[in-house]
Amino acid sequence: MPTPREPIKVIAHRGASADVPEHTLAAYRKAIEDGADGLECDVRLTADGHLVCVHDRRVNRTSNGRGAVSALELADLAALDFGSWKDTTRVGPVGPGAGRDTAVPVPPVSEQPQWDAARTSVLTLERLLELVSDAGRRVELAIETKHPTRWAGQVEERLMALLDRFGLASPASAAESPVRVMSFSARSLHRVRAASPYLPTVQLMQFVGVRHRDGRLPPGVGISGPSIRILRGHPSYVEQVHRAGNRVHVWTVDDPADVALCAELGVDAVITNRPRAVLEQLGRG
């Protein structure tokens, strides 16, 4: 008889980011409440050496500030609002370019909405690890290192040091580890593997190069991270990866048709902005 297929794991992309501002503590809390199997985050290194959960190189899109994360200190980022841009109840336009040429009347302080810090404050990876540790159940964490950056290998160095503080840097086996490191940068993954051979790594892909079309991955990497666009155009890729003994974690899977495709192809995990809806579609809601 064939081996029963394990349920597809549902990983919350930047938290439950369809509903709550991405990369905020509130987004990750909601993802855990929604039942997500794991959380995905992007990490960047600040000028004073802190790993923070921010996707873009600059803070312009997701905050009321400007500048590169790598050139700002944690205190600078802590002074910014990283959530109100997504809140539709906010007075006046927000977001990139909003209100640039329009004067918006600001109500008295007593009438302005009070924003929850969990929805608006920058989130450090340390705080996210604390949240996962206190979840009361196994919650996996997929950490994407963002490159290129002026800090280069210091990102992985600080990441491994932080994981070590939480007892997560040196798992006995890849299967036991609740943490995995993802990157489009093969060099980044090489640094992680050199520091911790059993910490799972994911090679993220915008497209599948000729060397990897048969399902093979860079040495030591056991998980392929293709975009959903790759699977739409080349559905046989999933079978190729599995035949090579590797796993498939797909990003970013929000559309119900894409969820159905991933289920049909038997991928191992989907990374989605809508964890609750995807869990329900997969019969796990």
Residues involved in catalysis? 13, 55
Q: 271 and 14 in contact (C-beta within 8 Å)?
A: no
Q: Is 225:196 a contact under the CB 8 Å cutoff?
A: no
DSSP secondary structure letters along 35-79: T-SEEEEEEEE-TTS-EE---SSBSTTTSS--SBGGGS-HHHHHT
Measure the CA–CA gap between 81 and 63, rounded to whole angstroms: 5
Contact between 26 and 127 under an 8 Å Cβ cutoff? The reply is no
In angstroms, the Cα distances linking 217 to 40, 199, 245 are: 21, 16, 10
Q: Which of 230, 218, 219, 284 is nearest to 258 (CA)?
A: 230
What are the φ/ψ torsions at residue 218 (nearest 5 degrees)?
-55, 150
Q: How far apart are CA 243 and CA 214, in angstroms?
A: 9
d(CA 273, CA 258): 13
Residue 175 CA to residue 173 CA, distance in Å, equals: 5
